[in-house]
Amino acid sequence: MPDSTKTVELTIETVTEIKKLRVTRSSNLLEVLIANDISIPHSCGGYGICTTCRIICKEGAEFLGPRTEPELERAEERHFSEVERLACQCELSGSVHILLPSGL
Ligand code: FES
């Protein structure tokens, strides 16, 4: 059984399904999704440039870490709401529930 002090719950929702994973705290969200075979576009390779890895955080947005400089720039350019984040720029510090706009 995973140590709950070192892991967090990640709930991933699409229009057709919901998946729950237990993942290591402090993991990069995009890396976790890719490692678990969850299809998410990431055209720029995780540098916070392309915005193809955009997700919506439905619960636990405070556990995705602050926006990085590249994400702040993209969020301003594209008028992201508070809950729209770039998976490649998020570090998981607690349990979150995310929605993938592009599907699993
Ligand atoms: S992979 Fe390009 S912004 Fe995240």
What are the CA-CA distances from residue 73 to residues 21, 22, 31, 63, 82 (Å)? Answer: 30, 31, 22, 20, 14
For residue 1, being part of any structural domain is answered with no
The residue segments making up the domain with residue 40 are: 7-99
How would you classify the pairing of strands 7-13 and 96-99? parallel
For residue 104, being part of any structural domain is answered with no
Domain count, the chain: 1
For residue 2, being part of any structural domain is answered with no
13 contacts: CB under 8 Å, gap ≥ 6: 19, 58, 97, 98, 99, 100
Q: pLDDT truncated to tens, each residue of the chain (104 aa)? A: 556 679 999 999 988 899 999 999 999 999 999 999 999 999 999 999 999 999 999 999 999 999 999 999 999 999 999 999 999 999 999 999 999 986 44
Looking at ligand 1, which atom is closest to the CA of residue 74? 3
CA torsion sign for 55, 66, 4, 96 is negative
pTM for this model (two decimals): 0.93
Our answer on whether the CB atom of 88 is closer than 6 Å to any ligand 1 atom is yes
Our answer on whether the CB atom of 43 is closer than 6 Å to any ligand 1 atom is yes
> Which residue owns the Cα nearest ligand 1 atom 3?
48
For residue 30, being part of any structural domain is answered with yes
Our answer on whether the CB atom of 97 is closer than 6 Å to any ligand 1 atom is no
